[in-house]
Chain A
């Protein structure tokens, strides 16, 4: 069974640009969540999608957005990048009942210069 796949693994962008990150969940998982991980702030919840609908949202500015497609693949977009957006972005998928936890991808390491 393939795991959660995130692409790209590494990304370097310039301040002011925008970026799109992709996440393919485990087959059959309909819930996809996104997290930002930084050394100082830990794992910060961005948003969760279930069956193409945003189910929960964290406390991030509107520059951070996401969507989920009918095949459960998800993308997140960050517009007008700031230096502080440099982080590891993790995607996690789960089955509907979540009893077996969330499975994380390896993440996308975004560096904004």
Chain B
């Protein structure tokens, strides 16, 4: 069945450093969504990517969808303490989540 792998599992950065998490699917995805879960909270939708090679930006966050629609990445420029949380990618059909990348930011 469809599997979505996400790396790294944990990332500790100094405030101001960049951060990237990668998502890889065993099958071609129709689209991919990204979510953020703050500690003690629930996942919150960030963005959806649909087209092969698509790049979308939200302020300091840059999302990419691979040409083959089997991988995706989220890059955060100049992390801030407010970026702390776990970032999940999720592939559709069923919304299958990757294991998430937990980001901690040291001030």
Contacts and interface: CB of A to CB of B under 8 A. Distances in A.
Interface stretch (B10-18, B38-46, B61-69): B38-46
B100 A42 contact: yes
Interface stretch (A65-73, A74-82, A96-104): A96-104
A101 B95 CA distance: 10
Given A104-B43, A106-B42, A58 B94 contact: yes
B96 interface: yes
A25 interface: no
B22 interface: no
B94 A48 contact: yes
B99 interface: yes
A98 B50 CA distance: 12
B45 A103 contact: yes
A43 B43 contact: yes
B45 A43 contact: no
A45 B91 CA distance: 12
A53 B93 CA distance: 16
State which size class the interface on B falls in. 20 to 34
Interface string A12-54: 0000000000000000000001010000001101001000000
A99 B88 CA distance: 17
B45 A101 contact: yes
Contacts of B44: 104
B48 A43 contact: no
A28 B98 CA distance: 28
Given A42-B99, A42-B100, A43-B100, A102 B45 contact: yes
A98 to B, nearest CB: 7
A102 B95 contact: yes
Interface of B: 1, 33, 35, 41-48, 88, 92-100
Given A42-B88, A56-B93, A98-B92, 5 more contacts: A43-B88, A59-B1, A92-B95, A101-B47, A106-B41
- State the 6 A-B residue pairs at the shortest beta-carbon distance, nearest first: A101-B45, A43-B97, A104-B42, A42-B99, A56-B94, A104-B43
